[in-house]
Structure 1
Amino acid sequence: MGEFDAIRPYDDAEVPAVLARLLSDPAFLDILTHFRFPRMAGAFGWLLKPLIARRLRKEFAGVSCVSTLQDKVEYYVDHTIERATDGVTYTGVEQLKAGTAYLFLANHRDIVMDPAFVNYAVYHAGLPTPRIAIGDNLLQKPFVSDMMRLNKSFIVHRSITGRREKLAAYQLLSAYINHSIRNDCQSIWIAQAEGRAKDGDDRTDSAILKMFHMSRKDEPFGAVIQSLNLSPVSISYEYDPCDQAKARELYIRATTGTYSKAPGEDDVSIAQGITGYKGRVHINFAPPVSEFVEDTKQLAAEIDRQILAGYRLFPVHYLAYAQWTDADPTLAVPVAAKVFPADELARAQAEWQRRLDACPAEHRPFLVQQYATPVRNQYRVKAGLAL
């Protein structure tokens, strides 16, 4: 057994057997049937599932490596993106060099679509897609684990509670990330913090940065970071399909002090995040951190600056900021009408009002907060102020 077998993605030799297992999994076929035929899946699922399985076996016959599988899957990813967005743009991808592996550290708003959009940008730039860090809390069903590990995902063990076991898990994760970039020349995607930034406040967790160094403690922290080509990535959604659910969670946390997820809540968030309307989406790749940083605090500050500066603000963000009770009066934030054309602003006002109307009154301050916070953060960066 290899050192990283417990967490690594599947390799080419494993693809045929895992695909065969996946396409025979009743739970996986049930999900696909409900996704493809939501109105008919209940009454006719018994008929549809074998038909879908037969079609997929035919389509994926002969697929024997990860890159060929991704080529096949890309059609469905592109189709999903076209249906759920008003277009995807990206900047900075042109500076990425073929034959160089990067550590993409990104803000985190959506469980599945954040790395999917980074993959989309990198793939369409003609570069190899990164390996994707995914928490084991999302891999409770065997078919989900198979599906993600086929798509170059590796496992982050978050459900471990023992201190010694947790330390060993992070040591292994650190070693794998360093090995992937330095030995395999395979890029990595990982979120800047555990869990989504549900309040719109994108901040880097120093513990993540410390983890990168854990397996190479005999080397200076700054040198390790320089060797990993750490590129901060900003993912900007015009509209968040899960914004109402996030507002509800924030309200419950604020009023009770805690929040407990219902069974299957992550599955609902994943489905809503994939299929829900997002408006426009933008991904910005900042240049890799090249200066020598002394510690995690200094590095986190630089990553935050890059991610927040690279975030694309849409009209809805300015509209929300104008309504936000926590807006910073010292910041020179223009009104939306000064930034965007009248027709674009009118469309945004209609959509924003629709979302406000759909949100219970007590949750609305938290809906506003999600969209307003990136405005405050970016204008603080522009003004050179502390975040």
Structure 2
Amino acid sequence: MSKFDEIRSFDDCEVNEAIKSIVRHPMMKALMNFTFPDVECNIWTDKLKETHSIRDFQKDFISHTIRKILETSSQGLTYSGFDRLDKNTAYLFVSNHRDIVLDTSLLNLILLENEHIMTSSAIGNNLVQQNFQYKLAKLNRNFLVERGLPLRDQLKSSKLMSEYIFHLLSADNRSVWIAQREGRTKDGNDSTQQGILKMLAMASEGYSLLEFFKKLKIVPLSISYEYDPTDVLKMPQLLAKHNDEIYVKAKDEDFTTMMSGVLGQKKRIHLHAGEVLEKEFESIFSEIHHKNKQLQAVAQLIDDSIIPNYKLWPSNYVAYDMLHNTDAFSGHYTEKEQQLFERRLEMRIDVSDPVLRQGFLAMYANPVINNLKYNLN
């Protein structure tokens, strides 16, 4: 037994038993038939039953699933910056967050194909309520974040998670992915929440904060999709925010969002790994002495990498020009690309509703607006 048993992913010695317990589940059959449409069931079933490690499960099965998703719902994945990372070093990827499933899956596909250490990553326990989802998540090296806890229990849970993340990085030499904020960004404004850094710092006992953040080897990660397959699903929450109302999720909303993210059209996708944040911490922790202000500065440092390195697509520039009634960025898209985006807008929302129209366009335009702030400084 270890103190991390309630949240950790499977150990390799538990993998085979877990796979055998779900190999005949209808959702596993659907997943494998999607991944290997021309392969007889007994072939992938037998191979699954012979799998004894998370790496083999991800390499032999899940990586093929992700490639199939890219083939059927995108125009390809590109990436940059990963060549600067050491293949044998564990990193903490702090990332903007667009899609529940794909953000980490695409990162791990890149890491696998380039022989880097793959990540363990956080997933809300609200997303793995069913036994199959729970086991599949742990087979993909997800660890659980408990949602909806009372404040006292939440602090205890956060401390456990911070210690587990630090254990993975320092003791297991395992890379970790976490989002820069709780939940996905709904409006395209990517900013690092100080609370995420406070959570990480809960495991800093025995180190100065400077030493601790250096040990994390933080890599800011910028993830951009040309089309957000869940854009229309984010509109009710944005509407509620606009109307100053409390948003309550519909039943099965998380599952619907996951499936839309996986199967919906994304067009082009790009991931950029920023430079490892290490030496930058020296000036922050020597010049700033208040802990909260130090964490604010670290959050800003992460944003200063994620935002300028975010790949801007024609959809972003078209949305900016439509939102501001200008042609300032017309050189960044063709007439056809503009027409395709306008058609998407008309098919996804009621364009006669000014609040919906503005919210949808801002979701795509905000990365341009945020990027402009860096180019102007």
- Report the counterpart of residue 251 of structure 1 in structure 2: 239
- Report the counterpart of residue 70 of structure 1 in structure 2: 58
- Report the counterpart of residue 378 of structure 1 in structure 2: 371
SS in 1 for 2:243: helix
Per-residue CA deviations over 1:271-329 (Å, capped at 9, x if unaligned) read 0100111010000000111122332100011111110011010111111111225x9xx
Indicate if the aligned counterparts of 2:23 and 2:48 stay in contact, CA closer than 8 A: no
Say whether 1:110 aligns with 2:99: yes
Q: CA shift at 1:54, angstroms?
A: 4.5
Matches within 5 A, 1:111-126: 111-126=100-115
**What TM-score do the two structures reach when normalised by structure 1?**
0.87
Indicate if the aligned counterparts of 1:29 and 1:52 stay in contact, CA closer than 8 A: no
Q: CA shift at 1:223, angstroms?
A: 1.7
Choose the corresponding residue for 2:48, options 44, 60, 67: 60
Per-residue CA deviations over 1:89-140 (Å, capped at 9, x if unaligned) read 1000001102110000000111111111111221121212111111111111
Matches within 5 A, 1:31-70: 32=31, 54=42, 56-70=44-58
SS in 2 for 1:227: helix
- Report the counterpart of residue 42 of structure 1 in structure 2: none
RMSD of aligned alpha carbons: 2.2
- Report the counterpart of residue 176 of structure 2 in structure 1: 188
Q: CA shift at 1:60, angstroms?
A: 1.3
Change in CA separation of 1:30 and 1:89 when aligned onto 2, cut-off 3 Å: closer
SS in 2 for 1:134: strand
Choose the corresponding residue for 1:354, options 318, 321, 343: 343
* C-alpha distance in 1 between matches for 2:242 and 2:327: 30
Per-residue CA deviations over 1:155-202 (Å, capped at 9, x if unaligned) read 1112322x2211111111111111111111000001000111010001
Opposite residue 347 of structure 1, the aligned amino acid is: K
- Report the counterpart of residue 365 of structure 1 in structure 2: 358
Change in CA separation of 1:22 and 1:372 when aligned onto 2, cut-off 3 Å: same
- Report the counterpart of residue 217 of structure 2 in structure 1: 229
Count of paired positions: 359
Structure 1 runs not aligned, ≥5 long: 37-50, 328-332
Q: CA shift at 1:153, angstroms?
A: 0.8
Q: Percent identity?
A: 32
SS in 1 for 2:339: helix
- Report the counterpart of residue 240 of structure 1 in structure 2: 228
- Report the counterpart of residue 44 of structure 1 in structure 2: none
Matches within 5 A, 1:11-26: 11-26=11-26
Indicate if the aligned counterparts of 1:23 and 1:53 stay in contact, CA closer than 8 A: no
Which runs of structure 1 show a deviation greater than 6 angstroms over 4 or more consecutive aligned residues? 33-36
Say whether 1:271 aligns with 2:264: no
Q: CA shift at 1:249, angstroms?
A: 2.7
